[in-house]
């Protein structure tokens, strides 16, 4: 389908604006690949060819970059791409169970998509949320502190088209394509939604606030410059 057609004039102009962010055009490969995924859902042939033309590269050079990074998909993924962290800490805390039970529940394996095209599954590495283990990401939004039942409910809701809310993210989950556009640097206006921090993030701060006076009081707005530098 789309692989045979050219990108629209508007889409091509957006690509030019992405290239203009960098001192050297080749640096735009990665955001352009995210952008192609926001339109086509994965890195299509026409995406590779258009990027190569725009950046004056061989298509093989663009493919070499695309194939190096796991977030760029060479085949379509689901509207909702579910990543379950199976790195050591999450795996031990329950991520291995989450993966097995979700896989059985959906009847698909790693890197596969449900027949309705709604949900795809991936074993992912550490996603920098270990204090919220076990962690699941959907379209690279945080779903913290998961259980086997919560993940089953999550994927069922996604397949049924029910609204789903990340634990630390926007008020409702957006699609794979929509979030790919954000990663290409195209804002979606959802920045103010969601919490500033979850409870584990605030643990030390709250313990500190509830304890006696801090050992070191910070002088406020004092310009401290060594005498020699004045």
Alpha helix segments (H runs only) across 94-210: 96-106, 148-160, 176-183, 199-210
Rounded least distance, CB 49 to other proteins, Å = 16
CB of 53 to other proteins, least distance (A): 15
Residue closer to other proteins, measured from CB, 4 or 43: 43
Burial class (CB in 10 A: 0-12, 13-18, 19+), 186: middle
Give the helix/strand (H/E) hosting 81: strand 80-85
Backbone torsions φ then ψ of 82, nearest 5 degrees: -100, 120
Please report how close the Cβ of residue 223 comes to other proteins at its closest, in angstroms: 5
Q: Helix (H, G, I), strand (E, B), or coil: what is residue 197?
A: coil
Comparing CB distances to other proteins, the nearer of 108 and 173 is: 173
Question: Nearest approach, Cβ of 138 to other proteins (angstroms)?
Answer: 10
Least Cβ distance, residue 47 to other proteins (angstroms): 14
Decide if 144 contacts 135 (C-beta within 8 A). yes
Q: Which is nearer to other proteins, 3 or 69 (CB)?
A: 69
Q: Which is nearer to other proteins, 155 or 182 (CB)?
A: 182
Please identify, using beta-carbon distances, which residue of 9 and 20 lies nearer to other proteins: 20
User: Residue 117: which region, alpha, beta or left (left: phi > 0; alpha: psi -120 to 50)?
Assistant: left
- Which is closer to other proteins, CB of 46 or CB of 186? 186
Select from 162, 160, 180, 164 the least CA-distant residue to 172: 164
Shortest CB 52 distance to other proteins, Å: 12
Query: Counting Cβ atoms within 10 Å, is residue 46 exposed (0-12), middle (13-18) or buried (19+)?
Result: middle
């Amino acid at each position: 389908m789309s692989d045979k057609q050219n990108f629209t004039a508007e889409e091509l102009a957006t690509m030019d604006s992405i290239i203009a962010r960098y001192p050297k055009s080749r640096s735009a490969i990665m955001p352009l690949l995210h952008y192609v995924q926001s339109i086509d859902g994965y890195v299509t042939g026409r995406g590779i060819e258009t990027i190569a033309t725009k950046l004056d590269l061989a298509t093989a050079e663009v493919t070499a970059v695309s194939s190096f990074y796991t977030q760029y998909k060479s085949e379509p993924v689901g509207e909702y791409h579910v990543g379950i962290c199976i790195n050591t800490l999450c795996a031990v805390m329950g991520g291995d169970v989450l993966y097995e039970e979700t896989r059985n529940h959906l009847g698909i394996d790693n890197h596969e998509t449900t027949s309705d095209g709604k949900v795809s599954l991936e074993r992912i590495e550490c996603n920098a949320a270990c204090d919220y283990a076990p962690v699941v990401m959907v379209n690279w939004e945080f779903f913290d502190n998961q259980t086997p039942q919560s993940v089953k409910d999550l994927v069922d809701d996604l397949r049924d088209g029910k609204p789903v809310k990340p634990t630390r993210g926007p008020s409702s989950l957006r699609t794979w394509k929509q979030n790919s556009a954000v990663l290409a640097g195209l804002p979606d206006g959802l920045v103010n939604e969601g919490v500033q921090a979850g409870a584990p993030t605030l643990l030390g701060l709250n313990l500190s606030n509830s304890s006696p006076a801090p050992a070191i009081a910070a002088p406020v707005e004092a310009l401290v410059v060594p005498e020699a530098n004045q």
